[in-house]
Amino acid sequence: MLIKTFVFTCKDHQIGFARIISDYSTIAYLGDVYILKQYRGNGLSKWLINEIMEHLNLQGLRSWILLTDTAEWLYKKFGFKELPNPEFYMEKHNPNVYNGMKN
């Protein structure tokens, strides 16, 4: 798996970010997408996602996946759909990973 990051800057300040984790042949996970609040509402999220999805190295993938609870409307514009069987989704979550504790 390879990771590609997209950083969006304005006047040498980072105002947006997105990360892709992909094998560059079958699947890509889109994560950590954000635009700072004061820059939202100007189409920057749409522009950023479009740039990612049009990236030459990410063409021909069978699947794109992401998790969101705030921007379904945005991702649907790019062809993302809700899982047909969300009950098959699984995760292993470690909420304490950043403070050195293990599950």
In a domain, residue 100? The reply is: no
In a domain, residue 66? The reply is: yes
Residues 80, 64: Cα–Cα separation, whole Å: 8
Residue of 17, 55, 44 whose CA lies nearest to 33: 17
Per-residue pLDDT at 97: 81
* Confidence grade of residue 102 (pLDDT, cut at 50, 70, 90): low
In a domain, residue 38? The reply is: yes
In a domain, residue 103? The reply is: no
- Domain range enclosing 52: 2-88
Phi and psi (nearest 5°) for 90? -130, 155
Residues 20, 40: Cα–Cα separation, whole Å: 21
Write out the two tokens for 20. 């892709």
Question: Using one digit for the tens of pLDDT, what is the confidence trace for 26-74?
Answer: 999 999 999 999 999 999 999 999 999 999 888 999 999 998 888 999 9
In a domain, residue 62? The reply is: yes
If one counts the domains in the chain, the total is 1
Cross-strand bridge partners of residue 2:
22
In a domain, residue 29? The reply is: yes
Indicate the pTM of the whole model.
0.79
Q: CATH number of the domain that 46 lies in?
A: 3.40.630.30
Write out the two tokens for 82. 């809700």
